[in-house]
Amino acid sequence: MNEISVEVANICNSVLEEIINYLQESQDMNTKVIELKSAETLREKLDLTLSETGISLAELLPLIKSYLQYSVKTSSPRFLNLLFSGFSVPGILGEMVASASNTTMHTYDVAPVATLIELELIQNLNKLIGFPSGEGLMVTGGSNANLIGMFCARHKFVPEVKYNGLENNQLIAFVSDQAHYSYLKATNLLGIGSKNLIQVKSDRNGCLIPSELESEIIQALHNGKTPFFVGATAGTTVLGAFDNLPSIAQVTQKYGLWLHVDGAWGAPVLFSEKHRNLLAGSELADSFTWDAHKLMGVPLICSAILVKDKGILSQACSGVGTDYLFHDDENSSYNLGEMSLQCGRKVDALKFWLCWKYYGNKGYQARVEQLFEMAKYAVDLLHSQKNLELIIEPKFLNICFRYIPQNSHISAEIINQINLDIRNELIRSGQVFINYASYKDQILIRLILANPEIKKADLDTLFENILIQGKKSEKKYV
């Protein structure tokens, strides 16, 4: 039996203290953002074994401490590696309360408040996108939201597939060659086959070329296939490109195809008067992916699939054998589980709602605009450094660049190696955690501005360190 006692209160207080220290420390310039250790070394340092007999609550404390000690400090302004960074107090509180009041989102009767909160969130997201009578659901990540977007499209096109399987249907989906890899998984899972995902050429800014899209659709029709789905991206993962939605929608409307927009990274620009034009035409989509755990800073996982026309999610997801769960009563229209592929579903809505309550639309607008300012600062710095070169002029918060050696005789291959060296050395030193990517055979360094705590001074230091490492590495090769 669990007993709420002094012992419980003590451990809760101690852990809270640890969490606060941890967050404080991660903001300190002298704390390493990452302490790179091999899996073997780390395994030796941690007490991972599980035993026959349990331990006391108090004995959990050192385990929690060492968890925090050896984890990556993703809340640091020097964590620039992925599309999330920083921390959110309302989000952390939301996670704690959701766990303490542990429930599942499938029916209104077990999650009454959470259900109403989720519906409110979905309605507000839909309002921003321009789906006035839309529906939606919180799902386990942007990848899964993309999957469900494609799943809805498949249901709309060939509803009988639900019972018959794909049979002779040869469905074809289209995304740009810059789209997220989750689409390949979606075509795999939905039985469409990844070879039937056409990766349409993008232009030099990484945006899908609408005329290329149309040519690919015509080609597929010519080959007797059934085009059904186009996935545009609002904020691509590497370059931060926004596909031109009105032009793409013209094509999807002409051929009667489903238009999904993957806004996992870029959707929150909709909060900003100044930058929402990047997503002009969002209302033309049929479905939309939104990650609140990236730019909005809600703790992972926090994502939604949004659909323009009500009813499709439950039609696509409903199965048989659910009579035991979904009973007809006055609140049955509030049973979100009917729209879900999951049975048990975590309450992700609470942390999201608390964050949104706390910041308000204006807070999110300010956050987005502040990060754009930082991006501009980074771009200006890059322009002023002859050893650093932008890959493209960024439209968003992805700053992709590379170090160019002073010695102009160095081969393209070595330039790639130097850039890789720079990135690896920064991580090894624990100063910054930044990512690299390969784009058109070039290794580039990808700076992501997602943490509103990033200051100009942080960027100055970053580029200084990159130049120092670049020069060091360059010496190795001459």
Q: Which residues bind ligand PLP (CB under 6 A)?
A: 83, 141-143, 180, 182, 233, 235-237, 262, 264-265, 291, 303
Residue 84 vs 228, nearer CB to ligand PLP: 84
Q: Which is nearer to ligand PLP, 75 or 335 (CB)?
A: 75
Q: Quick one: 264 or 466, whose CB is closer to ligand PLP?
A: 264
Q: Give me the least distance between CB of 450 and ligand PLP, in Å please.
A: 11
Q: Work out the angle at residue 448's Cα, subtended by the Cα atoms of residues 443 and 451, and round it to the nearest 5 degrees.
A: 160
- 301 preceded by cis ω (within 30°)? yes
**Least separation, in Å, of the C-beta of 305 and ligand PLP?**
11
Tell me the two tokens of residue 452. Answer: 């509103």
Residue pair 296/265 in contact by the 8 Å Cβ criterion: no
Q: What are the Cα distances from residue 89, in Å, to 51, 298, 304, 363, 394?
A: 35, 9, 21, 14, 30
- Residue 372: other Cβ atoms inside 10 A: 19
The DSSP code for 402 is: E
Element (H, E) at 446: strand 442-448
Cα–Cα distance for residue pair 424/279, rounded to 1 Å:
35
Side-chain-side CA neighbours of 168 within 13 Å: the count stands at 1
Q: How far is the CB of 203 from ligand PLP (least distance, A)?
A: 17
The minimum distance between CB 233 and ligand PLP, in angstroms, equals 5
Q: Which residue number has the CB closest to ligand PLP?
A: 142
In the complex, the smallest distance separating the C-beta of residue 137 from ligand PLP, rounded to whole angstroms, is: 14
Q: Write down the least CB distance from residue 5 to ligand PLP, Å.
A: 39
Are 97 and 347 in contact by the 8 Å Cβ rule? The answer is no
Residue with tokens 């590495």: 473
Between 61 and 301, whose beta carbon lies closer to ligand PLP?
301
Strands of 398-403's sheet, edge to edge?
A: 79-80, 433-439, 442-448, 398-403, 388-390
Residue whose CB is less far from ligand PLP, 298 or 443: 298
End-to-end Cα spacing for the chain: 69
- Burial class of 186 by CB neighbour count within 10 A (0 to 12, 13 to 18, 19+): buried
Least CB distance from residue 306 to ligand PLP, whole Å? Answer: 14
In the bound state with ligand PLP, the residue whose beta carbon lies nearer, of 26 and 178, is 178
The pair of three-digit structure tokens given for residue 16, joined into one six-digit string? 């809270």
Tell me whether residue 135 or residue 291 sits nearer to ligand PLP (CB atom).
Answer: 291
* 404-409 long-range contacts, CB within 8 A, separation 24+: 405/470, 405/474, 406/471, 406/474, 407/474, 407/478
- Pick between residue 265 and residue 372 the one whose CB is nearest to ligand PLP: 265
Q: CB 180 → ligand PLP: shortest distance, Å?
A: 3
152 and 139 Cβ atoms separated by less than 8 Å:
no
User: Least distance (Å) from ligand PLP to the CB of residue 194?
Assistant: 16
**CB of 231 or CB of 281, closer to ligand PLP:** 231
